[in-house]
């Protein structure tokens, strides 16, 4: 946490310096979000969401004379992203993280696997906002976000009293996660160069967050490689300040 605090201090000081240039604005966000997982395999279904948090530095570069259009970018941390997937068919999962002989290596039908992933996020978007009405401006912002996985923990909850939390599963989570999203909200001006930002943003991942090195073991059938595509969706309550 000390390293994170130091990094943000440096980025905030850089932001204050660059904000003196009229073509740029910088700020930061502290935004709670809800994430859940979806899967393209009919026997693997989402079964719970995570409450997470996004903390980051935001940058905006104006690309119109009226300051209504801007390219947005930034860097931040996204904590506890993921959700829970229920596997109707049991088998061997998280095989890169669990050793042979581990009691969690082979799991029964109906097991729930919960993911809690931490990312460094690099968003890039286009923000379009209205003229000012009193102290308010409204905006809409489509954006791509690249997530770089830094940590991942898992939990198991299944039949037969199986229950385990805080399992290191970094080796079974993809290093990169790419998502497309759209946000909308309002800016409230409280000074010449200071605005509060509030809104909602939805993101949908389109890359597989799992490494798919597991095996499904259906009763009476030969083992089958688990080759599904799991993705993370999120809804963020955006809270920030721009200067």
Measured between alpha carbons, how far is residue 213 from residues 58, 74, 147, 173, 224 in Å?
Answer: 36, 33, 21, 10, 11
Phi/psi for 8 (5° steps) reads: -70, -35
Predicted confidence at residue 39, as pLDDT, reads 95
The full set of domains in the chain, from first to last, is: 2-242 (2.40.160.20)
Higher pLDDT, 28 or 3: 28
Phi/psi for 160 (5° steps) reads: 75, 20
Mean pLDDT, range 69-97, rounded to an integer: 96
Question: Does the pLDDT of residue 9 top 70, yes or no?
Answer: no
For residue 218, what is the DSSP state? -
Please say whether the beta carbons of 239 and 197 come within 8 A: yes
Cα–chain center distance at 194: 27
User: Which range (5-14, 79-88, 205-214) has the least confidence?
Assistant: 5-14
């Amino acid at each position: 946490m000390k390293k994170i605090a130091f990094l943000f201090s440096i980025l905030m000081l850089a932001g204050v310096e660059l904000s003196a240039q009229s073509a740029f604005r910088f700020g930061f966000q502290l935004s709670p979000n809800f994430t859940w997982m979806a899967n393209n395999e009919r026997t693997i279904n989402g079964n719970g969401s995570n409450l997470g948090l996004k903390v980051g530095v935001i940058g905006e570069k104006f690309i119109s004379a009226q300051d209504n259009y801007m390219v947005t970018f930034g860097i931040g941390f996204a904590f506890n992203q993921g959700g829970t997937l229920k596997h109707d068919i049991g088998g061997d999962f998280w095989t890169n993280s669990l050793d042979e002989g581990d009691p969690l290596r082979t799991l029964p039908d109906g097991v729930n696997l919960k993911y809690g992933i931490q990312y460094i996020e690099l968003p890039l978007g286009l923000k379009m906002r209205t003229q000012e009405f009193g102290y308010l401006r409204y905006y809409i912002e489509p954006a791509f976000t690249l997530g770089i996985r830094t940590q991942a923990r898992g939990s198991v909850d299944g039949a037969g009293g199986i229950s385990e939390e805080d399992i290191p599963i970094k080796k079974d989570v993809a290093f990169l996660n790419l998502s497309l999203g759209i946000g909308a909200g309002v800016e409230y001006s409280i000074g010449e160069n200071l605005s509060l930002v509030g809104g909602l943003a939805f993101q949908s991942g389109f890359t597989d967050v799992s490494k798919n090195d597991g095996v499904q073991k259906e009763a009476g059938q030969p083992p089958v490689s688990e080759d599904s595509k799991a993705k993370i969706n999120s809804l963020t309550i955006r809270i920030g300040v721009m200067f």
